Amino acid sequence: MTPMHFSFSSAFILGLMGLAFHRTHLLSALLCLEGMMLSLFIALALWALQFESMSFSTAPMLLLAFSACEASTGLALLVATARTHGTDRLQNLNLLQC
């Protein structure tokens, strides 16, 4: 395993562990998701550069577009939750009370 491959996979795993174990606020969960998407984007972009193929060059841009959509949806949910519940703590969110 190359050091570059190790650093990107460890960044993804750290984001996943942060998402799994540090779920107190919605904002921290969104930041962990963004860290995971950033590590995937950089790894996919370097993978496309390594193969030097034009067919792989659109995949990082597509992933970046989906990541931007995910971030905007997450921020909209964060604002809506903060307005209705007064906080972004995930313990206060209950889907049965909707």
pLDDT of amino acid 67: 92
pLDDT of amino acid 46: 87
pLDDT of amino acid 31: 92
Domains in the chain, CATH or no CATH each: 3-92 (1.10.287.3510)
pLDDT of amino acid 16: 93
> What residues in the chain have per-residue pLDDT under 50?
none
pLDDT of amino acid 69: 94
Single-letter code of the amino acid located at 97:
Q
pLDDT of amino acid 56: 78
pLDDT of amino acid 95: 61
Please give the C-alpha separations between residue 13 and each of 17, 31, 57, 59, 71, in angstroms, as whole numbers.
6, 14, 25, 21, 19
pLDDT of amino acid 47: 86
Handedness of CA 76, 81, 83, 87 (dihedral sign): negative
| Model confidence, pTM | 0.83
